[in-house]
Amino acid sequence: MFVKHDKIRSFLLQLNDPSNDWKDMALFESLIFECRDCLQLLRDNSLDRSSMYQYLTYRRLELIIKRNLRLVATLQNPADILRQYEIIIGGYNEIKQLPLSTHFSDSYLVERFLSEMDAHVTMNKAYRCYYIGLVAKSNWKESVALFDRAGFYAKEALNNEFIVDKHAKEELQKLLSKADGDKFALFSQSISKGVSETKDDTASDPNLPLVEQLDKFNYDPEVITGNIPLISLTPEYRAIPCKPLFFDLALNHIQFPNLDEEINANKPKAGLTGMVKGWLGGWRK
């Protein structure tokens, strides 16, 4: 590819210089700023859709990713490390958004390149989940879930065909071991904390009789010897509802309606036979 801008040509020569010390953070910062200026130069010349623009965008994102990976090794605070992995994952996602199929005719190579980017995203997601779990240790349930997710991503990355770097695989294996160890450590801490809180809540009061604390476990050895009060004598007085001496005092002052007519109206009327039977029955008596 012919490069007509001197600034871009100078940047590419500096980028591919074999004497570059990639452990120097100042070199990364200088190259990133140079690449940004080159991209601005192309935008000023309305070349922001050219192949050169897409290539320089890719190289700039690649430099940012490498710089942040180098920066991770120098940091100790989990929150600071977490921010670097957020930037790294964002860089890989931006690379995936580049219009590669527009500038490359071989769709197979484009698909494999995108798959490789996905593999790196998965690998860095494992680290991100792990450090989020370290930051969120105050909530042990969330931390355990994040450590478990970190192990899941680490296993996926280890089994991915695009993760071929031996050092990267070794670091992923270490991350998997650390995630499992921290997860079980949090489990044990939460259980021991729950047991201690339960002991504090269920501890009995030696000054109270046993009948008033039946739901609490007594650690006092005096319980075995029997030198502990079972009940308090005499029982304390307590208010109870009093039974009245007279019932329905107001019933004598209530006048109920006469219901004889309604009662007789519901009885069947007796005929002549019934009347004769009534007389005979009365005579027999």
Q: What is the largest CA-CA distance in the chain?
A: 146
Report domain extents, the chain.
1-74, 101-198
Q: What is the mean pLDDT of the chain?
A: 83
SS3 203: strand
pLDDT tens sequence across 146-189: 999 999 999 999 999 999 999 999 999 999 999 999 988 888 88
Question: Taking a C-beta distance cutoff of 8 angstroms, is the pair 136, 146 a contact?
Answer: yes
pLDDT tens-digit readout, 19-35 = 999 889 999 999 999 99
Task: Calculate helix-pair angle for 166-202, 140-158, nearest 10 degrees.
Answer: 160
Does the predicted model carry a pTM greater than 0.85? no
| Distance in angstroms (rounded) separating the CA atoms of residues 150 and 173 | 11
Containing H/E element for 247? none
Please classify residue 157 by burial: count the beta carbons closer than 10 Å to its beta carbon, then call 0-12 exposed, 13-18 middle and 19+ buried: buried
Say yes or no to pLDDT of 285 above 50: no
Q: What is the pLDDT of residue 35?
A: 95
pLDDT digits (tens, 9 = 90+) for 255-278: 878 878 877 776 665 555 555 455
CATH code, residues 101-198:
1.20.58
